[in-house]
Structure 1
Amino acid sequence: MPVSVTMPRLGESVTEGTVTRWLKQEGERVEADEPLLEVSTDKVDTEIPSPAAGVLSRIVVGEDETADVGSELAIIAGDGEDAGSAAPAPAAPAKEEAAAEEAAPEPAAPETPSTEKPVEQEAPAPAAQTGGGEGIAVKMPALGESVTEGTVTRWLKQVGDTVEADEPLLEVSTDKVDTEIPSPVAGTVLEIKVPEDETVEVGADLAIIGAPGGAATEAPKPDPAPQQAAEPAPKQAAPAPQQQSAPLVESKPAPAPAPAAEAPAPAQAAAPAAEKVSANGAGDAGYVTPLVRKLAAEKGVDLSSVTGTGVGGRIRKQDVIEAADRAAAAKAAPAPAKQEAAAPAAKPAASPLRGRTEKLTRIRATIARRMVESLHVSAQLTTVVEVDITKVANLRSKAKVAFQAKHGAKLTFMPFLALAAVEALREHPVVNSSIDQEAGTVTYHDGEHLAIAVDTPKGLVVPVIRDAGDLNLAGLAKRIADVAERTRNNKISPDELSGGTFTLTNTGSRGALFDTPIINQPQVGILGTGAVVKRAVVVDDPNLGELIVPRSMIYLALSYDHRIVDGADAARFLVTMKDRLEAGQFEGDLGLSS
C-alpha cells in the first residue's frame, strides 16, 4: 500500500523546513533509505531518505516550498502499484491518454468515429504548445525560518542559455547560509529580474524560464526559427476539417523529423560539457557550492581534478580538504632532494583575494554583529597562565598509536585540555553559570555541556558535547573528533549547536600562542588554548637545584564575564587546570602503567 513521506523534526526548535531539491522525480523507483530529497532549515541542510521501497507516485511539496514538521511531502507506491502510481500525478495527461486509447481501436472499424477522434487528438496539441511557451518564474526561496530576504551573489546562467531541471541556476547568500538555487524546470532563461549583488525579499521573482516541462525534446523547440515551429500548426489545422484521417498520419511524422533532425545538434554540442560536469562536479555549470569554491581557491585546489563523493558526484568540502592534503604530501616528498636548488626560487603564492573589494557576506555580518553584542552585554576580561605539559606530551607520544588503533580517534592535546577543563568546571561552578541581570539571578548549571569552536569555510561553528563531565579521556577524544568532522561536512544536527555552558577554542591549531577570545553568550566563560611549543624553562630539581631545560609549554587564556566571575575565581579555575595537566596523571585513561 502507498507510504507517505513526511517532513521530519530536524531539531528541538525547528518547526518547518524548505524542500531545496528532489533527488527523485515522479515515476522513478526508489529504494528504502535511499536519499529522496534535500531539506533546508534555519540551522542545517540535510537529505531525507525514503521510508520504503517503491515508486515515487506523487510529489506533494515542490522545490523551494516550505512545509511544517509532520506534513506530507510525497507518496511512495508499492512495488505492485507502479502503473497506478504514475497516473495520478498528472491528471490532465491521464485524461488525454484515456481519450487516445479510446480513439485507437475505433478508427480501425468505421471511418465516422475516426473523423471525431482527430479533433480530440488535435485539441491537446495547442495546449502543449501554449504550455511550452509560458514562462515559469524562479522565486527567492525561504532558506530558514527567520530568513526574510536574500542576496543574489552570482548567476550561473545568462539570458538565452538553456538549463535543465534541478541544474544550479544562481547563487544566493543570506545571513545564515550561502547556497545554490536550482532551476525548477528545463528550458531557456528568458529574463533575469534581479542582478548580482542585489537583495530581494523571500518570494520575489528572480528570473523567468521558458519552455517548462523538463522533457529533453521540449528544450530545443524554442531554439529553431519561430517560423518553422509555427508553420506545422496551420498546416495541421487547415486540412483537419477536410481530411481528418490523413492529417493524423501526416501530422505525426511532420513534427517528428524536425526535432529529430534538429535535436541531435544541440544535444551533441552539449554532451561533452555535460560529461565533464557530471564526471567531477566542477566547473561553472557544476553543482559546487560557493563555500566549496571558496575553500578550493584558498587551498589552491583545481576542482576539475577532484572527484566528488556527494550526491550525484557533487564535490563536498571534505573532498577539497583531502585533495589539498594529497597535494601537500606530494610536494613534501621530493622536497628534501631538491631543497637546496628550489629554495632560492621559492616564492609565496599570492592569495586570489589580494587587491579585491568584496561585499560582506551575510554570515560574516551576523558573526560580527553577535561578537559586538557580546562585548556590549557583558564585562569581559581575560586571564592567562602558562602550563608545562611535558608529562602529557610524553604520555601522548607513547600511547597515540595504540590509542588510535583501539578507539579509532587521534590522540591530540585537545582531549587532555577538555578533561582538565570539565573537571575544573565541576570544582568551580561559577565559571559554568549564566546570569540574568534583569531578573537579578544567576544559574549554576548541573552539567558540563562543553562547546567546541570548529573552524569551517563559512566561519566558526560551535557544536556542543553534552554532559562532557561524564566522559573519560577516550570518550572526549572520540566525541571531539566526531562533532568536528560532522560540523565541517555540514552533518551536525541543529540540537547539537545549542545548550552549551562553557566554550573551548583551540587558537593554537594555527600556531597562535594565545589570544583573548570573546564569550559565547549567554555563557560566562570561554577558554582559549594556545600552541604547544618547546622552550628553555627554568625548573627546580630537588637534587641539582635550578636548571634550564627544554619543556613543552602552552598558554591557557580564560575570558570571563566580570559581572559574575571575579579575577580570583578565574585564577583559581586556571590553576586547577594547570595542576591537573602538569601532574600528568592520565596513565589509567591511556592504559599505561604508572
Structure 2
Amino acid sequence: MSESVKMPALGESVTEGTVTRWLKAVGDQVAVDEPLLEVSTDKVDTEVPSPIAGVLEQILVPEDTDVAVGTDLAIIGDGSGSGAAAAQAPAAEAAAAEVPAPAAEPPAAAAPSPAPQPATPDAAGTEVLMPALGESVTEGTVTRWLKAVGDQVAVDEPLLEVSTDKVDTEVPSPTAGTLLEIRVAEDADAAVGDVLAVIGTQAAAPVAAPAPAAPAASTPVASAAPAPAPAPAPAPAPAPAPAAAPATPAPAAGGAGGYVTPIVRRLAAEKGVDLSTVTGTGIGGRIRKEDVLQAAEAQSQAAAAPAPAASPSAPAEKKAAAVPAVDTLLRGKTEKMTRLRQVIAERMMTSLQTSAQLTTVVEVDVTRVAAVRAKAKAKFEAAEGTKLTFLPFFIKAATEALKAHPKINATIDGKEVKYHAVENIGIAVDTPRGLLVPVIKEAGDLTLGGIAKKLNDLAARTREGAVGPDELSGSTFTITNTGSGGALFDTPIINSPEVAILGVGTIVKRPMVVKDAEGNEMIGIRSMVYLALSYDHRLIDGADAARYLMTVKKRLEEGAFEAEAGLA
C-alpha cells in the first residue's frame, strides 16, 4: 500500500510553489511527520512533512520545479516488498558475476540489467506534490534535491528545497520509504500540486540499478577464482551503495555534516554563527533554528568575557573583518535570479505597466512626535513589552487618514472600484532574500501600542523567514520606511493591486521658520521628514493625494499621541 505526497495549500492565495530541495532520496525510510522536502512560495519557505511512515518510492517533482497545490510530489510505500527486492538484487549480481567467467559471453552480462528495472516509476508508491505555499502562489522552483533516487526517507524528513517569489523552504516526505523517482529536476519550475517525486517500498528502489557495473569490477576476480565465485559475489554487492551515494552530495553541504535549511542558513548568517561548529539535534543530525540560536547565545557570552583582554588587538581584527561587505563577493559573477527576485521584478514591471503612477511629496514637522516618543519610550516598553519607534506613529496617522479618504484605500477591478472596509497595512521589510511585505491586519482598529507590537513582531519574523503565507498577503495600503536607510524620500512603486503607497523618509533636524505663541516668526531647530505618496492616477487625482497627505501631516504635527503612548 502506498500514498502520494501532495503539494499542500500554504495560504489562502497560494496556488503553487517551488520544490527547492529534497531532504530524502528514493529508497529512504521516512517516519510520520518527518520532513521530506523544502518548498518555497511567494509567501513562505517551509518543509513538507511525510503523511505516513514508509519508504520513499518515487520523487515525482525534481528540485527547482514549480508545481500547483494538490500536485503529487512523491509516493511513499509501506516497504512490504523490500525483502523480495533485496533477494532479487543479489541473485542478479551473482548471475552477473558468474557469467563474465566465460569471456565469450558478454551478452549474458546485459541480461541482469532488466532486473533493476522493477524500480521504475510504475511501481506503487506515494507521490510527493508541490505544496501551496501562499494565497497567490501558483508555482515554485525546485532549487535543490536533498535525497537521490534510492535513498531511504523517513516521514517528515526533508526531501528537497523549493523557492517561490516569497519564500524558500523545504518539502518534507509525506511517508517513509524509498525515493523511487524524481520527476522535477533542480532549477525546474512546477505548479502547485504537481508531482515532484514518488516514494515507495524498498522493493521498487532503484538503488540496485548500478548493479550492472559490478560485473565489470568482478571480472578480474572471477578469472582469478572461477570456482569460489559465489563466495566473493557478496563483496561486489555493496558496490552499488557507494555508486548511489554520489547522487546525494547536496546534503553534505550543511554544517557539521548535516543538512541545513535555507531558513537556518539565513538565521546563522544574521547571527554570525559558523554552521560547521554547530551540532544538529534534528533528524539525521540536521541543524535546527534552536541549535543556531543556542550557538549564537553561547557565542555572544563567550565573546563578552574575553573582550577586555582582547581589547588591544581586537579592534584591528574586527575592522579588517568588517571591510569586505557580503555583496563584494558578487563582483565579476553571473548567477541565476532567485525565485523571489524574479517575482519582485515581474510585479514591479506589472505595477508600472498597469497603473498611471505619480508621486506627491509633503514636508512634515514631527518635533512633537519626537518629544512624545522621547518621554514615553521607556515607560511604553515596560508596559507594552516592545520598543516604540517612529514608524508606529506614521502608521497610526496614515491609517486614520485612510478612513477619511477611502479612495486611497481602494482597488481597481476592470471598470469597477472596490473601497475596502478595513485598513490592512502592508509594511515593506528588507530581508536577506529581498523585499517582503508582511501585513498588519485591520490596523485601523489598533492602538499605537497594538500597532507597535504587531509591527515589531512581523518585521522580526519576516527577516527570520518565520512568517506564514497569509501574513504576507491581503494588504490594502502599503507603507515603506526608506528613511531607515537614510534616504530623504523616494518615489515608491505601488504594491499592485493597491492604488497607493506611502514612503516615509528619514527624520532630520533642520533650521526652520516657526512662530511663537504671539505669532512672531523666528528660526528654530525642528525634526522634519518628507512623506511621499505614489498613487494610481486612474483613480486618484493630485488633489485627492494632496488632501490625504495634508490629513496625515496635520495629525503628525499636532502630535497628540500622549494618551496612546502612556503619558496621560
Common topology (TM > 0.5): yes
Paired residue for 2:346? 369
Deviation at 1:363, TM superposition (A): 3.3
- One-letter code of the match for 1:287? Y
- 1:180-238 residue CA offsets vs partner (Å, 9 max, x unmatched): 89999989xxx9x98x9x8688899999xxxx8899x9899899784449979xx99x9
1:398 aligns with 2:387: no
Matches within 5 A, 1:194-593: 226-228=216-218, 281-282=254-255, 287-288=259-260, 302-305=274-277, 313-314=286-287, 348-349=323-324, 351-436=328-413, 438-439=414-415, 441-542=416-517, 545-593=520-568
Larger radius of gyration: 1
- Return closer, same or farther for 1:443/1:136 CA change in 2, 3 Å cut-off: same
Q: Within 1, Cα distance between the matches of 2:49 and 2:275?
A: 28
Superposed CA offset, 1:336-384 (max 9, x none): 9789989998983251112333344443233223212212222211111
Query: For residues 591 and 349 of structure 1, do their structure 2 counterparts lie closer, same or farther at Cα, with a shift above 3 Å needed?
Result: same
Tell me how far 1:522 sits from its aligned partner: 1.6
**2:371 is aligned with what amino acid?**
N
Distance 2:8 2:195 in 1: 29
What does residue 91 of structure 1 align with? 80
1:40 lines up with 2:29 in the alignment: no
Q: Residues 88-133 of structure 1, C-alpha deviation per residue, up to 9 Å, x if partnerless?
A: 8233346x59xxxxxxxxxxxxxxxxxxxxxxx9767426886995
Please give the per-residue CA displacement for 1:469-492, whole angstroms capped at 9, x wherever unaligned. 011111111222232233333333
Q: How many residues align?
A: 516
Once residues 370 and 416 of structure 1 are traced to their aligned partners in structure 2, the CA distance between those partners, rounded to angstroms, is 29
Q: How many angstroms apart in 1 are the aligned matches of 2:358 and 2:280? A: 45
- Alpha-carbon offset, residue 519 of structure 1: 0.6
Equivalent residues of 2:68, 2:132 under 8 A apart: no
Alignment-mate amino acid for residue 519 of structure 1: I
* Paired residues for 1:111-130 under 5 Å: 125-126=90-91
Whether the 8 Å CA contact 2:17–2:190 is kept in 1: the answer is no
For 1:67 and 1:341, the matched residues in 2 are separated by 53
- Residue 502 of structure 1 deviates from its aligned partner by 0.7
1:118 equivalent in structure 2: none
Residue aligning to 1:247: none
1:11 aligned partner, one-letter code: G
Query: Which AA in structure 1 matches 2:551?
Result: T
The 3 A distance-change label for structure 1 pair 227 and 478 is same
**Deviation for aligned residue 1:525:** 0.7
User: What is the letter of the counterpart of residue 378 of structure 1?
Assistant: S
CA 1:223–1:538: 2 relative to 1, 3 Å: farther
RMSD: 6.2
Q: State the Cα distance separating 1:69 from its structure 2 match.
A: 5.5
SS in 2 for 1:552: strand
Query: Contact (CA 8 Å) 1:420, 1:581: kept in 2 or not?
Result: yes
Instruction: From the superposition, tell whether residues 446 and 137 of structure 1 become closer, same or farther in structure 2 (CA, over 3 Å).
Output: same
Q: Distance in 2 between matches of 1:162 and 1:532?
A: 59
Contact 1:297 1:352 in 2 (8 A): no
Q: Distance in 2 between matches of 1:41 and 1:361?
A: 11
Q: Give yes or no for contact 2:427–2:438 (8 Å, CA) kept in 1.
A: yes
Look up the match of 1:10: 10
CA distance in structure 2 between the aligned counterparts of 1:163 and 1:58, rounded to whole angstroms: 9
Cα distance in structure 2, aligned partners of 1:569 and 1:321: 52
Q: Is the 8 A contact 2:31 2:54 kept in 1?
A: no
Conservation of the 8 A alpha-carbon contact between 2:397 and 2:556: yes
Map Cα deviations across residues 421-458 of structure 1 (whole Å, 9 max, x no partner): 1101011111112234x42x322221111111122223
Determine if contact 1:295/1:317 at 8 Å carries over to the other structure: no
Structure 1 CA distance, aligned partners of 2:382 and 2:348?
Answer: 40
Any idea what SS the aligned residue of 2:330 has? coil
TM superposition shift of 1:495: 2.9
Preserved CA contact (<8 Å) 2:355 2:536: yes
8 Å CA contact 2:24, 2:37 repeated in 1: yes
Unmatched segments (≥5 aa) in structure 2 = 95-111, 122-126
Q: Equivalents in 2 of 1:142, 1:526: separation in Å?
A: 33
Moved more, 19-28 or 38-47: 19-28
Q: What's the % identity of the aligned pairs?
A: 48
Report the CA distance between 1:573 and its aligned residue: 1.4
Shift of 1:463: 2.4
Please, which runs of 5 or more residues in structure 1 have no aligned partner?
A: 76-87, 98-120, 240-249
